[in-house]
A and B are shown apart, each in its own frame.
Chain A
Amino acid sequence: MIKEYLDNVRSYLKDLPTDEREELLQFYEEQMLDAGYSIQDIEEKYGTPKQFARSLKIEYFIENDEVADDTVPRSTRTKNRMNLVWLVVLGLFASPFLIPIAIGVIGILISAIILFLGILFSIYVGIIGVLAGGLIAFVNGVILLWQSVATGVFYIGAGLLLTGAVIFFAPIVWRVTRWLFEMLVTFIKWVGNRYLSKNNVKGAH
């Protein structure tokens, strides 16, 4: 029975590295057997295999992200973090308990994600707009140069200025984007820890 339950949990943990997954399952199998839990006790304590697997995964990805250092390629880290955001959102939708809180949190979360994407979108549209404007002004200036030197020089100057501004501000914008993403992930982790992980420290009584 316990074995069946854990096999079921295992099937939902396919995206964890094998050794991590087996170590995790070994730990909980021992806990269940040594504590002498029945399958009812287990389901009451950990939920369905799917729910249990989900909180284990969220814990794993949060913990993994905390210890990630420079040896982890940035692309892998970003991928894991996107995975975490997705898991937390799914987890909130699937949580049967704390319905009113869940709805509130989902609302806040969705607004946060939309806000994040919105800011990102406007920043990048802005950049592309300015860059395009700069290039067009420059080309325009070169054409106009044959008709009126003053107007031509003005447009060439404006074009160079705009293009230069983009080149100058692009790294700053990139930083701001990363910082926003960082904030989003921090928020997601907080939500995951607070509402979805079973890993909450209860005080002594």
Chain B
Amino acid sequence: MNIQVPTTVLDGSVLAVLTKEDTYGYIITKSMQELLGVSESTMYPVLRRLKRDGYLETYDKPFEGRNRRYYHITDLGVSHLQEIVHSWASFREAVNSLLEERND
């Protein structure tokens, strides 16, 4: 059973992960992979777009002689997440009412 994850939901999920704390690429892609089954090749364009639109920023931190790129959610990103949460709530409600109608 496969359900394609809409782009907006991916955006929201990444922003939600980052509201807890700044983190680096692998942690983000790993949680998306585990929960939504989305590959890292899908996540790169998502992160790139969110950065370009100003919803997140990056900075580098040294780790074992290399750099890890950390992602940080901006204020703009926080309000964007709020919008996504609202649209998701009404979308979910609509889909639920459609799917459950069948049982009546």
Interface residues, chain A, with chain B CB atoms under 8 Å away: 23-24, 26-31, 33-35, 55, 59, 63, 67, 197-205
Contacts and interface: CB of A to CB of B under 8 A. Distances in A.
Given A63-B48, A203-B1, 5 more contacts: A198-B41, A199-B39, A203-B5, A204-B2, A204-B37
B13 to A, nearest CB: 12
A202 B2 contact: yes
Given A30-B25, A34-B25, A201 B5 contact: yes
B25 A203 contact: no
B interface residue count range (under 10 / 10 to 19 / 20 to 34 / 35 or more): 20 to 34
Contacts of B45: 59, 63, 199
Interface string B27-50: 001000001111111101101110
A63 to B, nearest CB: 5
A33 B69 CA distance: 13
A107 B44 CA distance: 32
B89 interface: no
Contacts of B49: 63, 67
A2 to B, nearest CB: 11
Given A59-B45, A201-B4, A204-B3, A30 B38 contact: no
B69 A26 contact: yes
A205 B45 CA distance: 23
A28 to B, nearest CB: 8
Contact of A201 (B26, B38, B48): B38
B2 A31 contact: no
Contact of A24 (B2, B24, B38, B44): B44
B24 A202 contact: no
Given A33-B66, A34-B25, A200 B37 contact: no
Nearest to A33: B66
Contacts of A30: 24-26, 68-69
A177 to B, nearest CB: 31
Given A23-B48, A27-B25, A31-B29, A201 B68 contact: no
8 contacts: A27-B44, A30-B69, A34-B26, A35-B26, A55-B41, A203-B2, A203-B5, A205-B2
Contacts of A63: 45, 48-49
Q: Which 4 A-B pairs have CB atoms at the shortest separation, nearest pair first?
A: A203-B2, A34-B26, A198-B41, A202-B37
Contact of B36 (A24, A33, A59, A204): A204
A197 B24 CA distance: 24
B84 to A, nearest CB: 17
B38 to A, nearest CB: 6
Nearest to B38: A201
B26 A203 contact: no
